[in-house]
Structure 1
Amino acid sequence: MAGIGPARSAGALAAYSPPPPALLTADGVERVAVDRAAYAAEFRAFRASALTLGAALLADGGEGAEGNVVSSPGSLLIALAMLRAGASGETAVEMDKVLGLPAGTRDEAMNALLGFLAAYDGDPGSVDEKDPPRKPVMHAANGLFADTGVPTGKNYLATLAKHYGTGVYPVDFQDEAATKPAIDAWVNKNTGGRIKKAPAEYDRDCTFSLLNALYFAAAWRSPFDPNDTQDSPFTKSGGEEISVPTMHNMLELAYAEGARWRVVDLPYAKGFVMRLVLPGPGEGPETLTAATLAEIAAALDTAPEVLVLISLPRWDHKSSFDLRKVLGSLGLDTTLTTTKDFDSIQSRLTITKAAQAASITAAEKGTVAAAVTRIDGMVTGLPPEPE
């Protein structure tokens, strides 16, 4: 289980983790400022895509969660958008169709979304996880580790710099003793130590490793009184009843209900909410399809606030996912097998591994969570004959 530790300073993290190699960005290319208001339609498409990914992650169930699934469709969506920026041919068509990504303005819209999150950016290492901040910390980081022996496309690097705020970390994947700790240090730093190592087994033949990290810490708008927390019965989806530490509160919350669910938005002190969905009796996680989640989101967009007696389990969970299996279940077959459609990233690049690790702690004062998505690739086959 992911533990809750004392406040960590950036200096303390640096003392235990080697710094990543120098970040190289496209020459003369700067992050483009975009107007978030101009991308309302694209944001709706991103939400629909995130719901699709979330339902697929939930259906997969992950590993190491003992029945409790913790995932970040948001982190996966950002990573896939970065990958799509270097895709062409059948792979580009497939990714757009399966994921519902907006055509033409995808990277600009993602830049606008990341810019919105940047308003809440902060150092994960400075957060006291036992006392989450009233002003939320929402830290998003993108990183690309590329092998020094394989050229990375200049146009792709320019897109990363313009819209994703990152460049490339040149590394030697054959030198595992140096490169693996560098990638792990990047993960550790950008998740405040909640996730200490990058997901997916290290591969010395890798030539490309794309990562997204998200870290969130925030206090509830109305905290739960620890004196009211007590063991209470909780009914699992299979009907089994267990006893879990349960927090209690009475609040005015946005509330909606449908034929097979009830839902509330539990607000943090500023800017964010935790959406809590309670399936009907006898309903399991399979109820929460992308279509159902979209129906729930639409209902809450116009839901009134009512007085709600809320009983919420206190929890501390983590999960990991083999994302090749998850993405395959969605039909991204060409994306996972092509050896030519990512040539603008690296010539003859193919995706070899994809994984995610996620953790969350929800307690009386607030929530702390982190996730890392990693997509690895390698060049394949013989180089083309010189002219």
Structure 2
Amino acid sequence: MRRLSMTSLFVCFWLVGRGQCDASFQDSMGELHTEFAVRLYQTLKETENNSNLIVSPLSVSLSLGLLQLGARGNTLAQLEAALGYDVNDMQVQDFLLRSQRDVGNSSQGVRLQQACALFIQTGVQLLPVFTQHAAALSNSSLARANFSQHNQTRSQLQQWGRNHGTGEPLQSGGSGELFGSGEAQGETSLWGKRLQMALVNTVNFRGVWQKQFLFTDTQNLPFTLSDGSTIKVPMMHQATEVNFGQFRTLSDQRYTVLELPYLGRSLSLLVALPSDRKTPLSSLESQITPRAVATWDTGLRRTKMDVFLPRFKMQSMFNLRLVLPSMGVRDAFNPMAADFTGISAEEGLYVSDAFHEARIEVTEDGTKAAAVTAMVLLKRSRAPVFKADRPFFFLLRQVSTGSVLFMGRVGNPAEQAP
């Protein structure tokens, strides 16, 4: 038997699903989804310094797709470029609708659900066309809210999250963040009055392994961290036949990929690992590309192995407002450039924040995972705001000649001269 030894885990993992649709178009859409997923992950890994990282590209892409329905002009073009497709295209809509039905068709031992809700400020009127398309595309529900009543709205969002199976992620990464981050800090009253809409999307997954690990076979074994030190972790084990492959990156680094299917084999977990124990995870991680992921399907072979996988539970939270501009989605967050006139007749709508939280738990029985993405839309204030509430540079000059009399910076206004 071959033994899959575990060093610094984890390159990345995907929950892989296989659906029913026109083969060539499905392949094209699959490639676009994989490309978006890899780009999102690669962007996040540059900004997130934690050793563990998890994100749900599905949740993020569904939220961006809904924004795309109401976007116009350059805002729409940037969203299309980021996702790689136009949700207004009938063939794309048909594919997404079929995908939604596949997601909803949970089988015994496997449950995959997604839900979307539009929480609208009382008094704000959405365009009927946007409401109809949003409801058809993502089975979105619409609820009225009074965002100036923070506690009431928080309870409303949390209750919706519990009803749709997300539990903790929505409580900490969705409703809680709506009133304590970004532009909301220190300005909750003003911000609440300007908040027009919150677009909330959730994805919930529970899956039982096709072949479960036995609790009696789990042992505390060494796990090598990225700095070379080792810790003891609960390491699950089973001797079984799995899909396994050996691959090389463009720089000729060798790595291995293991596929663990869930009951019914329509979804699976893929785990990638550097072949050389001395190869840092970051070296392989940076070379994961959509093309590389595509080769895994054809490069895996049934192999009888001893499989060791640590039991783990982790959670990540971040504001996509700091991430998506690096992927080309810029105007949506710019109060002066955003164009969401396809959502409402209200002028000046823009995305002020985009919160995302994902969590996963992998045990001997299987996997539980959940994610939430909340896009917060504000109404632009009547006049542009210049607020020097952080360090700034200044110069004092003579207008007629341009001569600079003084120049400097302010890093701490409270620091007084002696």
The answer on whether the counterparts of 1:43 and 1:109 sit within 8 Å (CA) in structure 2 is no
In structure 2, the residue matched to 1:350 is: 350
The runs of 5 or more residues in structure 2 that have no matched partner are: 1-19, 185-191, 384-418
1:302 is displaced (CA, Å) by: 4.6
The correspondence of residues 82-93 of structure 1 with structure 2, limited to 5 A, is: 82-93=66-77
In structure 2, the residue matched to 1:295 is: 292
1:363 is displaced (CA, Å) by: 0.6
Matches of 1:273 and 1:355, distance apart in 2: 27
The correspondence of residues 155-234 of structure 1 with structure 2, limited to 5 A, is: 155-197=129-171, 198-199=173-174, 200-202=177-179, 204=192, 205-234=194-223
In structure 2, the residue matched to 1:115 is: 101
The answer on whether the counterparts of 1:255 and 1:263 sit within 8 Å (CA) in structure 2 is yes
The answer on whether the counterparts of 2:81 and 2:328 sit within 8 Å (CA) in structure 1 is no
Matched letter for residue 364 of structure 1: E
1:49 is displaced (CA, Å) by: 1.7
In structure 2, the residue matched to 1:128 is: none
In structure 2, the residue matched to 1:324 is: 321
In structure 1, the residue matched to 2:36 is: 49
The answer on whether the counterparts of 1:238 and 1:284 sit within 8 Å (CA) in structure 2 is no
1:192 is displaced (CA, Å) by: 4.7
Matches of 2:85 and 2:285, distance apart in 1: 21
Matches of 1:325 and 1:196, distance apart in 2: 20
For 2:157, what is the secondary structure of its paired residue?
A: helix
Work out whether 1:97 is the aligned partner of 2:81: yes
Q: Choose the corresponding residue for 1:258, options 229, 243, 247.
A: 247
Matches of 2:218 and 2:200, distance apart in 1: 38
Matches of 1:338 and 1:301, distance apart in 2: 46
* Residue-by-residue CA offset, 1:264-319 (whole Å, 9 max, x unaligned): 11111122101111134322246334853541332224522112221101011111
Matches of 2:283 and 2:325, distance apart in 1: 18
In structure 1, the residue matched to 2:63 is: 79
Matches of 2:105 and 2:135, distance apart in 1: 19
Work out whether 1:305 is the aligned partner of 2:302: yes
The answer on whether the counterparts of 2:215 and 2:364 sit within 8 Å (CA) in structure 1 is yes
Matches of 1:102 and 1:275, distance apart in 2: 29
Percent sequence identity is 24
1:152 is displaced (CA, Å) by: 1.3
Q: Mean alpha-carbon deviation: is it higher for 165-174 or for 37-46?
A: 37-46
Work out whether 1:278 is the aligned partner of 2:273: yes
Matches of 1:107 and 1:156, distance apart in 2: 14
Q: 1:101 to 1:242 in 2, by over 3 A?
A: farther
For 1:332, what is the secondary structure of its paired residue?
A: coil
Q: Mean alpha-carbon deviation: is it higher for 213-222 or for 147-156?
A: 147-156
The answer on whether the counterparts of 1:36 and 1:116 sit within 8 Å (CA) in structure 2 is no
1:191 is displaced (CA, Å) by: 2.7
Q: 1:290 to 1:324 in 2, by over 3 A?
A: farther
Q: 1:186 to 1:301 in 2, by over 3 A?
A: farther
The answer on whether the counterparts of 1:194 and 1:370 sit within 8 Å (CA) in structure 2 is no
Q: 1:343 to 1:45 in 2, by over 3 A?
A: same
The answer on whether the counterparts of 1:354 and 1:373 sit within 8 Å (CA) in structure 2 is yes
For 2:289, what is the secondary structure of its paired residue?
A: helix
Q: How many pairs were matched up?
A: 335
The correspondence of residues 48-67 of structure 1 with structure 2, limited to 5 A, is: 48-61=35-48, 67=51
The correspondence of residues 27-42 of structure 1 with structure 2, limited to 5 A, is: 36-37=21-22, 39-40=25-26, 41-42=28-29
The answer on whether the counterparts of 1:211 and 1:374 sit within 8 Å (CA) in structure 2 is yes
In structure 2, the residue matched to 1:17 is: none
Matches of 1:249 and 1:219, distance apart in 2: 15
Q: 1:285 to 1:76 in 2, by over 3 A?
A: farther
Matches of 2:364 and 2:79, distance apart in 1: 40
For 1:207, what is the secondary structure of its paired residue?
A: strand
Q: 1:52 to 1:196 in 2, by over 3 A?
A: closer
The answer on whether the counterparts of 1:210 and 1:376 sit within 8 Å (CA) in structure 2 is yes
1:352 is displaced (CA, Å) by: 0.5
Q: 1:181 to 1:290 in 2, by over 3 A?
A: farther
The answer on whether the counterparts of 2:257 and 2:296 sit within 8 Å (CA) in structure 1 is no
Matched letter for residue 61 of structure 2: L
Q: 1:59 to 1:307 in 2, by over 3 A?
A: farther
Q: Mean alpha-carbon deviation: is it higher for 294-303 or for 83-92?
A: 294-303
Matches of 2:36 and 2:116, distance apart in 1: 19
Q: 1:58 to 1:309 in 2, by over 3 A?
A: farther
In structure 1, the residue matched to 2:371 is: 371
**Alignment RMSD:** 2.4
Q: 1:379 to 1:285 in 2, by over 3 A?
A: same
Give the alignment's TM-score, normalised by structure 2. 0.74
Work out whether 1:341 is the aligned partner of 2:336: no
Matches of 1:330 and 1:110, distance apart in 2: 22
Q: Mean alpha-carbon deviation: is it higher for 193-202 or for 314-323?
A: 193-202
